[in-house]
Copies of this chain bind each other. A is one copy, B any other.
Amino acid sequence: MISLNDIHTAGKQLPKEIVRTPLLFSEDLSKKFSCSLYLKTENLQITGSYKARAAFTILNRLTPEQKKMGAAISSSGNFAGAFAYMGRLLNIPTAVVMMQKTAPFKVERTKQYGAEVVLCENRFEARWETLGRLQKERGITSINTFESPEVIIGHGTIGLEILADLPDADVILVPISSGGLLAGLALAARETNPKVKVIGVQPEGSNAMYLSYKSDKLQSIELVETICDALVATKPGALPFSLIQKYVDDVVLVSDATVKQAVALLFEHSKLVVEPSGAVGIAALLSESISVQSKKVVALLSGGNVSRENFITLLM
């Protein structure tokens, strides 16, 4: 259904606004973890997270008619900003569905980037219902980002860049929410170099993919409780899950306390601002749950959107 070639094509189509983010070797952290550690710095990506790639890929692949009528997704975080930004860049009207309980500053930020914000009830399913209504009533193309092949293809471009820069990478550590990032990156990486191991990382308090992966069956969770505010999917996407079963070597969990330590380590030794969700790979190394001795390890730092107030708390 999704091929390596699709991802190569999407990679070539990315506009100049998408940053070819550096893969930075970290000498200090390599010593600390007794490996060669490289950081894929998607925190330096436009709009502050890797979502910019998928947002562009979704919108770029719409038909001319769809582009005219506009497109909608549901997100309260990084995807919202990226989608709005790319809509403005491509001159496509965008709408973002958010629950009424969404923090007002996130609503404002999304509007500032240029999207219409449509609020819905505080129920998970109300988001899909509202997307359906927008499509039916206003002819807007509504995209379920959990199940969209374009999203997975867009994310996959990160895997291509990592292996272009470090063809003999041994291990790649990837944050997981609904699984689209891990699925796309693993497909791209493993189809390029079958020897590379791709490992997903999830917070202990938001472990739907972990449970699903370990039981080989899609599982939902009721409650999410973690400081990783971009990793809060209560159920994996079915399409990403099928790819993860095929391409991913393991899924591990990390505690919030370890994520906090990881953010501080990246501040001190790498001079990078990384949001908690983006630091879970480093947290996995701190947890010593993965064997990396002498290996070439890549940690994907997926985003850097953290407020001053939160960052201060994380450093304290």
Contact = CB atoms under 8 A, between A and B. Distances in A.
B44 A308 contact: no
Interface string A22-46: 1011010000000000000001101
- How large, as a class, is the contact surface on chain A? 20 to 34
A1 interface: no
Nearest to A46: B27
Contact of A44 (B48, B267, B271, B311): B271
A144 B199 CA distance: 50
Interface string A188-223: 000000000000000000000000000000000000
A270 interface: yes
B264 A308 contact: yes
Contact of A311 (B24, B46, B267): B267
B264 A304 contact: no
Contacts of A17: 27
A315 B304 contact: no
Interface string A264-299: 100110111110000000000000000000000000
A44 B24 contact: yes
A19 interface: yes
Contacts of A43: 271
Nearest to A17: B27
Contacts of A267: 273, 308, 311
A49 to B, nearest CB: 10
A125 B21 CA distance: 46
A304 B270 CA distance: 9
Interface of A: 17, 19, 22, 24-25, 27, 43-44, 46, 48, 264, 267-268, 270-274, 304, 308, 311-312, 315-316
15 contacts: A17-B27, A19-B24, A22-B22, A24-B44, A27-B46, A44-B271, A44-B272, A264-B308, A267-B308, A268-B308, A271-B273, A271-B304, A308-B315, A312-B315, A312-B316
Given A273-B273, A312-B312, 19 more contacts: A17-B27, A19-B24, A19-B25, A24-B44, A43-B271, A44-B271, A44-B272, A267-B273, A267-B308, A267-B311, A268-B308, A271-B273, A271-B304, A272-B272, A272-B273, A308-B316, A311-B315, A312-B315, A312-B316
